[in-house]
Amino acid sequence: MKNKIILVLILSVIGSFISCESNEDFLAEDPKGQLFADNLCKNEVEIMLLINGLHGIWDRAMMRPYQSMEIKFASSDDVIGTGNQRVYYHEMEVNMDITTGGDTDTQRGYERAYNTINQANTIINNYHNARNTVPEARLNALAAQAHFIRAFTYFWLVRFFNNIPLIKTAYNPDPDREVTVSPSRDIYDLIISDLEFAEQWLPIIWDGYMKNGAPTKGAAKSTMALVYLQMAGFPVNGGAEYYAKARDKAKEVIDHAGEYGYALREHYWQVWDPYWEAYEIPQDEAILWIDHTADDITVRAPNPSRPIEFGGWESMIAELGFFNRFPEGERKEFTFVTDFYHSNGNYYHYTDLKAAHPAYRKLWADNFTPGWEWENRNDPDSKWLTGMDQSASWYSGRPIIMMRYADVLLIYAEAKARTDGPDALAYQCLNDVRNRAYKGVGTTEASVSGLSTEEFIELVVWERAWEFAGFEYSARWFDLQRLELVEKATTEWREEPEEKYNLRKPYTKKDYFLPIPSKEVILNPNLENNNPEFQ
């Protein structure tokens, strides 16, 4: 692994932000020497330069449409890798041994993630240099952003790879061959430590331009609840202790939802409004987001989930069994598309297309061309039902939501049920999400009651599957992994009659995780076979 400080990239990313700080103070600094970590972070301006650069690097690490570990999501039961455009999705779909192409994709995602971690380490290890010029509370609040982003990035990596290198220095002068993989439990320990720091020092809300995506205290608590939920299951197997931690942390967020500004949006489709701007809704569902730059491509844009015939790459096509089980209501109507209307006047049912599966519709809307029009979708000239090939783009300038309040509600519901059974609040959390999905907040037709604990838990797990289907950050794959349901999802729940979707080999626990990319192993043989406990 090449641990390097990418100062050229940092300065190019954050040049537009410098005007927000005092240019005079920055330029007045002693220019002697070069910009290495040990002479950075002497004042708030220099810290902000690095933090702004960190957000830019993190954006690229988390938003790439392919060339990332997200090709593993095709192993889940909510999306199917057709292979019609991106063959590596199909290889993951049928559980093939990773090929050169898939290995190259994960290599690039791996590098971007560790670049993010390296930049965060630079800040974390050096921000105390400004102790004499910046008040401690402000200094810790700034550093808490780096702690949060490092935690989130490691959480992203550990769920894909399990045992990975644990790097806490900004620059490692030792040869790459000295780096080894650390047990995933050690990675989780750092994640929790970082989130505890972030929880303590991040503000409830930022002011100025940092409102555009800087993590908050509520985001730290919410992420910690999700981390504990993951740790309760495989491979950490923390069990009841960690379900209790997830329950308690999620309840802290729920109890302070009014203070933090969290609430479900009235209808599911409103979560995907491409014209949404941060903090424009006083009580909003968005907990964590990236203020994504419009000049960089992302899988959370219109094109990735469109069929080939409509200009897309079929990254998010629905498995038939998952689509058939999906509950009826507004959420299903908005999440998927089965009837396709081309601008040339032709109509296609999904069975007429090469993909031969429903597509995910929920990420099609962008903020470049007027035509959101979900509420007018049944009008004859609605852009929602006409010209589905128009405005097809890999780009999106909207903020990309990475965690939302529905996640916290369902974390509490599941974790509470798994510790000492569901209570009234757990039922309310589950029913609020279910009713919003069916007809909107305030309706009651989808409510459930009187379930056994086992029935309740099963329903919550499926509710998470439907709510976060299709390449969301609380991905279905991670739930299948932690609950050891991958084998069942790829056999018993599978409704794929085509032979091309038959598994090449049965899943084992080793198949739950990706191998460290071969380029890293060539540079450092210590990284080979990062999961020897699963043979």
The answer to whether position 338 is within a domain reads no
- Residue 220 sits in the same domain as residue 182: no
Looking at the fold, whether 226 and 183 belong to one and the same domain comes out as no
Please state the length of the chain. 535
* CA–CA separation, 184 and 42 (whole Å): 34
327: in domain: no
pLDDT score for 67: 80
Same domain, 284 and 189: no
- Name the helix (H) or strand (E) containing 340: strand 339-341
pLDDT digits (tens, 9 = 90+) for 200-258: 999 999 988 787 789 999 999 999 999 999 999 999 999 999 999 999 999 999 999 99
Residue 241 belongs to a domain: yes
Domain enclosing residue 449, as ranges: 216-291+403-473
Strand partners, 341: 347
- Collapsed DSSP state (helix, strand, coil) of residue 214: coil
Provide the sign of the torsion angle of the four alpha carbons 318, 321, 325, 329, taken in this order.
Answer: positive
- Has residue 385 been placed in a domain? no
Rounded to whole angstroms, what are the CA distances from 194 to 143, 152, 221, 318, 327? Answer: 10, 9, 11, 36, 38
Q: Is residue 450 part of a domain?
A: yes
Regarding whether 173 and 227 lie in a shared domain, the answer is no
Q: What percent of the chain has pLDDT over 70?
A: 88
pLDDT at 172: 55
Beta-carbon contacts of 61 under 8 Å, excluding residues fewer than 6 positions away, are 109, 112, 113, 115, 116, 153
Is 142 in the same domain as 263?
Answer: no
**What's the CATH code of the domain at 177?**
1.25.40.390
The answer to whether residue 361 is domain-embedded is no
Query: Do 172 and 94 fall into the same domain?
Result: yes
* Tens-digit pLDDT profile for residues 132-169: 999 999 999 999 999 999 999 999 999 999 999 999 98
Instruction: Evaluate whether 103 touches 48 at the Cβ level (below 8 Å).
Output: no
Residues 110, 8 share a domain: yes
Report whether pLDDT(375) > 80: no
CATH of the domain at 255: 1.25.40.900
**Token pair belonging to 28:** 């007045």
- What is the b/e burial string over 288-306, where b = at least 16 CB atoms within 10 angstroms of the residue's CB? bbbbbbeebbbbbbbbbbb
User: Tell me: the pLDDT tens digits for 474-519?
Assistant: 999 999 999 999 999 999 999 999 999 999 999 999 999 999 999 9
Which class for 214: exposed (0-12), middle (13-18), buried (19 or more C-beta within 10 A)? Answer: buried
Do 78 and 171 share a domain, yes or no?
yes
Q: Quote the number of domains for the chain.
A: 2
The answer to whether residues 433 and 286 belong to one domain is yes
Answer whether residue 173 shows pLDDT above 80.
no
Do 193 and 230 fall within a single domain? no
175: amino acid identity, one letter: P
Q: Same domain, yes or no, for 275 and 184?
A: no
In a domain, 440, yes or no: yes
For residues 158 and 223, state if they share a domain.
no
Does residue 235 belong to any structural domain of this protein?
Answer: yes
Structure tokens at 465: 């599957």
